[in-house]
Amino acid sequence: MDKKDLLLSTAAVVLLKRLGHRRIQQKMEEARRARDLALERMEKAARRFKQENPGTQTAHILSLTMVELAEKLKEGSLSPESVLYSYMGKALEVNREVNCVIDFIHGCEDQLQKVKQQKEKGLLYGIPVSIKDHIDCKGHVSSAGLVKFLGQVKEEDSVIVQVLKSQGAIPFVKTNIPQTMINYDCSNLIFGQTLNPLNHQKTPGGSSGGEGALIAGGGSLLGIGSDVAGSIRLPSSFCGLCGLKPTGFRISKLGVISPITGMNSVIGMLGPIARDVDSLALCMKALLCEEMFRLDPTVPPIPFDEEVYTSSKPLRIGYYEEDGYFQPSPSMKRAVQQTRKLLQEAGHTIVPFAPPKIDYMVDELFTRGIFSDGAAHLVDSFKGDIVDPNLKSQFNTYKLPALVKRILAIILKPIYPRIARDLSALCGVGSAKNLWDQHAAVAVYRTEFIAKWRKQKLDVILCPVLGPAFNHGYAGKLFAATSYTNLYNVLNFPAGVVPVSTVTRADEEELKHYRGHYEDPWDKRLKEAVEGAVGLPVAVQCVALPWQEELCLRFMKEVENLSRGMRRNA
C-alpha cells in the first residue's frame, strides 16, 4: 500500500467513525425528544386535573405515609385520581430540580380506570409506583443507559409490573440509571446526570439512583429497583431511604434487561425502595402473591409471613463495625455503634461477628465472579455507543487485554496490593472448568459463613453500608468500595438499609484523619468522595439468612423505631 492509499484508508476510517458518532448522537437526541414529549404529556394531564379539581388536598396527600395512604384509598376518603395526579405534579417538580425521571408511563391513566373497576381492592390499590429504567413496561423502552437498547419498545410488562398492577398499584414513571448499571453513580449520555435532592453536589447513588432521588425528593412513595452489588441499598443510604434487596429468585426477574445477562456467579435481585420499613413490608406482602407464582413458576410459592414481621421476640444480633477491606467513614462506624447500643438497651442480645476472608470474597468471589468473562460482555455492550465520563475509569480498566491486566497486577503488587488483586480478578476465570471451580468456591464460602452464623446462634446481622453520599465523579473510581454490600449478593442473603442518623461536624472533623487500611489511592479517593456531607443521612445494613425477608424487615423496623430519637438529636 503506497502513501496515497494509506492516507485514503485513514480518511475513510475517520469518516466512518464520525458518521457512526453522528448516528449515535441522533439516536440520543431522539430519545431525549421522546422523554421531553412524554413529560409534557404528563404535565398537561396533571395541570388539567388540578384545574378541574381545585379543592384537591395535594399537600395532605403528599404528607401521608404509604400505609396511611393505602388505608385512606381503601376506605374511600381519598380517590385514586387525587393521589395519582398529586404525585405526577410532585414528580415533575422534583425532576426539574434533579433530573431523575426519564419517561411518563402514559398507560397509568388507563390503569387508573381499571383499578377503579376492580371488584376487590388489591393491597396497593391506587398507590403510584415508580419503576427503574431497565424493568420492562409495555409501550416503553428499557435503555440501561445504552444506545443499543433505544428504539426497542417493549410489547409487554415485566412480571413485577404485572403483579403490581394486579394489586391495584399504578406504575406512572420510569427513572434514570448510570450507563450499563455496573456503577453506583447515576449518569448516562442519553438522559444526563441525576443529582441528590438533599445536596446537589452529591450523587444519589446507583444504579437505582433515579428511584433514590425521586423518592427522597417526595415525588414517589414506592419504587422498584435492582441490586447486584448494592444498587438498591446504596441509593437508599445516600438518599436517607429504606431499601430491601431480597434473596435471589424470591421475586420474579422476568422482563428485565441487563448488559451482563448470563452471569450467575453473583446474584442480582429486584426489590423495593421507600421512605419507611412498613412501606417495604406492604410491597413485599403484595408481590408475594398467587399472581406472581402463576406468572413465573420459577419463583418459590412462599407468601409473606406477617407473623414473623410483627413479632416482638428479642433477637440475637451479630454485628461488625468494619470489614477490613475498606475502612468505614467515621459516620458509617458511628451509625453501627449507636444502633448496637440502642438495640442492647431495648433487650436484644448483641454479639461481635467477623465475616470470614473478606479480601478473598471481594477479589475472588465478587470481582472475578461478576467479571468471570473478563468483562467481555460489558465491553461489548459499548459497541456503537459512547462511554459516559463517569464510567470511563472503570471502562478503560475493563477493556485492557488480560495480559496487560496481569502485568500491571505484578508491577503494582508490592506497592498497591489491593489494586493489584483487583486487576488480577478483572481477568476473569479463563475457562469453563475454572467457572465451575469459581461457582464451587462461592458455595463453599456460603457454607462456611452460615456455619459461623449458626455457631453463634444468630438471628440477624447489623453492619455498615457505604456512605454518606459521594461527591460527583467518585463512584466510578471506587467500584470495589461496594464490599459492605456486595458480600450479600455473593452470599445471596436478604439485606436492607435503614437511615439512623446524619453526618455531624465531629464526623467531618474525624474524617480529616482518615487513612484507610491500605493507604493506597482508593483510600485517598474514599476520603475525598464523602467530604462535605454534614447533615446528610447515614444508614446501617440489616441482614438475615436466605428466604427470611420477613425477619430482615422485622429487624429493620426495630432499628427504624429505635433510631428515631438518634436522627432527631444528630
Query: How is residue 284 written as a grid cell?
Result: 413485599
Phi, psi of 303 (to 5 degrees): -70, 165
Rounded to the nearest 10 degrees, the angle between the axes of helix 402-412 and helix 417-425 is 160
SS3 call for 124: coil
**pLDDT tens per residue, range 114-166:** 999 988 999 999 999 999 999 999 999 999 999 999 999 999 999 999 999 99
**pLDDT tens per residue, range 482-493:** 999 999 999 999
Instruction: Tell whether residue 229 is among the known ligand binding residues.
Output: yes
Q: CA 270, CA 262: separation in Å to the nearest integer?
A: 16
Q: Is the peptide bond before 207 cis (omega within 30 degrees of 0)?
A: yes
Query: How is residue 70 written as a grid cell?
Result: 393505602
CB atoms within 10 A of CB 439: 16
Q: Where are the beta strands (DSSP E) in 84-127?
A: 101-104
Instruction: Tell whether residue 284 is among the known ligand binding residues.
Output: no
Do residues 351 and 317 make contact, with C-beta atoms less than 8 angstroms apart? yes
Q: Map 193-225 to HEC letters.
A: ECCECCECCECCCCCCHHHHHHHHCCCCCEEEE
Instruction: Tell whether residue 563 is among the known ligand binding residues.
Output: no
Q: Spot the catalytic one: 142, 166, 208, 231.
A: 231
Q: Give me the pLDDT at residue 181, please.
A: 97
Do residues 302 and 143 make contact, with C-beta atoms less than 8 angstroms apart? no
SS3 call for 442: helix
Average pLDDT, integer, range 403-430: 98
Question: What is the pTM (predicted TM-score) of this model?
Answer: 0.96
Q: Is the peptide bond before 393 cis (omega within 30 degrees of 0)?
A: no
Query: How is residue 474 written as a grid cell?
Result: 467518585
**pLDDT tens per residue, range 230-270:** 999 999 999 999 999 999 999 999 999 999 999 999 999 99
- Based on the residue annotation, tell me whether 132 is a catalytic residue of this protein: yes
SS3 call for 528: helix
Instruction: Give yes or no for residue 190 having a pLDDT over 70.
Output: yes
Instruction: Give yes or no for residue 296 having a pLDDT over 70.
Output: yes
Q: Diameter of the chain by CA atoms? A: 85
Instruction: Tell whether residue 28 is among the known ligand binding residues.
Output: no
Instruction: Give yes or no for residue 103 having a pLDDT over 80.
Output: yes
Do residues 422 and 364 make contact, with C-beta atoms less than 8 angstroms apart? no
Quote the DSSP letter at residue 384: T
Do residues 482 and 353 make contact, with C-beta atoms less than 8 angstroms apart? no
Instruction: Tell whether residue 312 is among the known ligand binding residues.
Output: no
Q: With bands split at pLDDT 50, 70 and 90, how would you rate the model's confidence at 565?
A: confident
Instruction: Give yes or no for residue 435 having a pLDDT over 80.
Output: yes
Q: Whose CA is closest to 295, among 249, 247, 256, 252?
A: 252
Quote the DSSP letter at residue 269: E
Q: What residues pair up with 279 in beta bridges, in sequence order?
A: none
Q: Beta strands 101-104 and 242-245: pairing type?
A: unpaired
Phi, psi of 352 (to 5 degrees): -65, 140
Residues 6 or more apart whose Cβ sits within 8 Å of residue 269: 226, 227, 228, 232, 245, 246, 247, 248, 250, 251, 253, 489
Q: Spot the catalytic one: 207, 226, 393, 501.
A: 207
Torsion angle of the four alpha carbons 414, 320, 251, 429, in this order, in degrees rounded to the nearest 10:
20
**pLDDT tens per residue, range 39-51:** 999 999 999 999 9
Q: Spot the catalytic one: 132, 202, 253, 557.
A: 132
Q: Whose CA is closest to 195, among 180, 216, 179, 171?
A: 216
Q: Give me the pLDDT at residue 20, please.
A: 77
SS3 call for 507: helix
- Based on the residue annotation, tell me whether 207 is a catalytic residue of this protein: yes
**pLDDT tens per residue, range 310-340:** 999 999 999 999 999 999 999 999 999 999 9
Average pLDDT, integer, range 209-237: 98
